[in-house]
Structure 1
Amino acid sequence: MATALVTGASSGIGAEFARQLASRGMDVVLVARSIDRLQQLAEELQPQYGIDTTVLVADLTQPQDVERVYTETEGRGTTIDLLINNAGFGDYGEFAKSDRAKILSMVQLNVTALVDLTHRFLPPMQQRQSGCILNMGSIASFQPLPYFSVYAATKAFVLSFSESLWAENRKTGVKILALCPGPTDTNFFEVSGSPASNGNSQQLASVEEVVRDAIAALEKDTSNVVVGGFANQVMTTLTRFFPRDVLVQAVEQQFRPNRD
């Protein structure tokens, strides 16, 4: 039976990945900081779908925890067929006034941990000539986002990194995908400190829709997929038609914090 490892599995898109993959008969390794939520999810999935669940409590901003995720799975002989690098968070506000520790943690989680896990799990997949790695991007991967400056930059990195690996691995049997959702009904806005309505005119996509479309894209072996509705498709193409300075100024006005 195939096994998927999902980071950030305690809620939102990560938890939904675990549910949909389990429903397809995959064993799941659930990784996050919250042991209570992970155990609750594991206890839901195992009897419902008859699959094996493994809970790994880890803070992926800590390099030793990233290493432990590998050593306690692939390093102990548990083949990981699908790696979902979903863990990440954003921070809203003016960069100069942001909390330095928080934004450095964001880079550590959104970029460094993702690269580290990919570098650890990709070689065994190449040796087996099979496997998939899904990296969590965003529609923010495609353009600068004032007041989400570091977050958008990390997601631009994820897109570029994933597309490069997709091309490198076309003949290895390993699929690489950057998943780029738009605004989704998760706790992202609460964690980032941004109102859900800030900059968003469309309805939030459901996690079920996002994950369903992501799994379909994995099966097609494309380098990236933009999900969550037609408006997101439009947003990711704007840089092709407008000067970047004009576009980023318009986005700045849209996302500018309320100073009243």
Structure 2
Amino acid sequence: MSPISDAASGSAQKWALVTGASSGLGLEFSDILASQKVNLVLAARRLEPMERLASDLRRKHGIEVLIEPTDLAAPGAAAQLKSRLDDRSLRIDILVNNAGYGLHGNFLDTQLDRTVDMIQLNVTALTELSYIFGKDMAARGSGEILLVASLLALQPVPTYAAYAATKSYVLALGEALHDELRPHGVVVTTLCPGHTETGFDAAAGAPVSPMLRLLTMKPRPVAESGLHALSQRKASAIPGFKNNVVAFSNRLTPRSMQRATMKKVISP
């Protein structure tokens, strides 16, 4: 496999790997990074949306874009992706660990294989990517990792039981890695978005309640918030004033009340 051009793979221009890049937050992360003249590796399951995005980003920003159609929920997919990039002698400077999805419904009413697939993507693949790219970054003394969790990571959420649990894992992992990797020159930031206008609800099979609509943000400011927090070397970030009010209120209420509140917020 031929390597990326020397000018792009050298120190003059950074490369970022964005997972879940075909739509939603992944698309916005990619566009913002491209506007900063960061070359991109786009990884997602759907090829055609990535091809359209890559063409658009090359035209608008004059960067190099590599497309990697990848099902990160498949066992071993993260390591295979890393191997393909190594074959190209491509160094990743920024990892945006964004790929993931949710399942809505009572836990026992959801399909077990879908739940396991979700955990594989949201937890296992994210952990593997953080490890294998984080190890490279630590060895050379520089790098940035942005993990995408959720506001639902802050409390148990009936009807999103397994999904919220995966995001609690991401937040705990990310904040711990922030401290562990900082001495090695690697910044790790975890973004906890609230409800965002993406394809999440349709994919999760979830209705959107009137209360949830009041908290909804556009994806662009959410992505901007995450990348800004990363540039400021923050451990974690919650985008939006309303979401920060929700997070602060959580600290003042018992967990039983948190569960009851979330049921009301999510129920249509």
Structure 2 CA distance, aligned partners of 1:116 and 1:198? 37
Distance in 1, Cα, partners of 2:232 & 2:179 = 14
**Deviation for aligned residue 1:199:** 4.8
**Number of the residue aligned with 1:249:** 260
Task: Provide the C-alpha distance between the structure 1 equivalents of 2:229 and 2:260, rounded to a whole number of angstroms.
Answer: 33
Q: Is the 8 A contact 1:74 1:121 kept in 2?
A: no
Deviation for aligned residue 1:196: 2.4
SS at match of 1:29: strand
Q: TM-score, structure 2 length as denominator?
A: 0.92
Map 1:30-69 onto structure 2 (within 5 A).
30-69=42-81
1:180 to 184, 187, 192: 192
Deviation, 1:120, is 0.6
Give the CA RMSD over aligned residues. 1.4
1:204-260: CA deviation from partner (whole Å, max 9, x where unpaired): 211110111111111110110001x2110011123321111122123224434x6xx
1:90 Cα deviation (Å)?
0.5
- Is 1:135–1:179's contact at 8 Å kept on the other side of the alignment? yes
- Structure 1 runs of 4+ aligned residues shifted over 4 Å read none
Partner of 1:106: 118
TM-score, structure 1 normalization: 0.95
Residues of 2 paired with 1:159 and 1:73: CA distance? 27
Q: State the SS of the aligned residue for 2:25.
A: helix
1:129-149: CA deviation from partner (whole Å, max 9, x where unpaired): 111011111101111111001
Structure 2's unaligned 5+ residue stretches are: 1-12
Secondary structure at the aligned position of 1:135 is classed as strand
Q: 2-side partners of 1:198 and 1:32: how far apart?
A: 31
Task: Report the more deviating stretch, 152-161 or 205-214.
Answer: 205-214
CA–CA distance in structure 2, aligned partners of residues 251 and 231 of structure 1: 15
Contact 2:209–2:266 (CA under 8 A) maintained in structure 1: no
Cα shift readout 1:5-32 (whole Å, capped 9, x = no counterpart): 0000000000111111001000000000
How many residue pairs align between the two structures?
A: 256
The one of 82, 92, 99 equivalent to 2:104 is: 92
Q: How far does the alpha carbon of each residue in 1:103-127 deviate from its partner, in whole angstroms, 9 at most, with x for none?
A: 1111000000000111110111011
| Match among 244, 248, 258 for residue 237 of structure 1 | 248
Partner letter of residue 230 of structure 1? F
| Structure 1 counterpart of 2:4 | none
User: 2: distance between equivalents of 1:23 and 1:201?
Assistant: 30
Assess, with a 3 A threshold, how the Cα gap between structure 1 residues 201 and 32 changes in structure 2: closer, same or farther. Answer: closer
Alpha-carbon distance between aligned partners in 2 of 1:207 and 1:252, rounded to the nearest angstrom: 24
Structure 2 residue 90 is matched with structure 1 residue 78: yes
Report the Cα distance in structure 2 between the residues aligned to 1:166 and 1:247, rounded to whole angstroms.
27
Q: Structure 2: how far apart are the matches of 1:171 and 1:146?
A: 38
Structure 2 equivalent of residue 115 of structure 1? 127
Once residues 98 and 140 of structure 2 are traced to their aligned partners in structure 1, the CA distance between those partners, rounded to angstroms, is 23
Paired residue type of 1:193: G
- Indicate if the aligned counterparts of 1:136 and 1:178 stay in contact, CA closer than 8 A: yes
Percent identical pairs in the alignment equals 36
Q: Write the mapping of 1:183-194 to structure 2, written as runs, cut at 5 A.
A: 183-194=195-206
Structure 1 gaps, min length 5: none
1:60 counterpart SS class:
coil
What secondary structure sits across from 2:68 in the alignment?
strand
- Structure 2 counterparts to residues 14-33 of structure 1, below 5 A: 14-33=26-45
SS at match of 2:212: coil
Secondary structure of 2:152's match?
helix
Instruction: Please list the CA deviations of residues 158-200 of structure 1 after superposition, one character each: whole Å capped at 9, or x if unmatched.
Output: 0000000001112111000101111111000111111123651
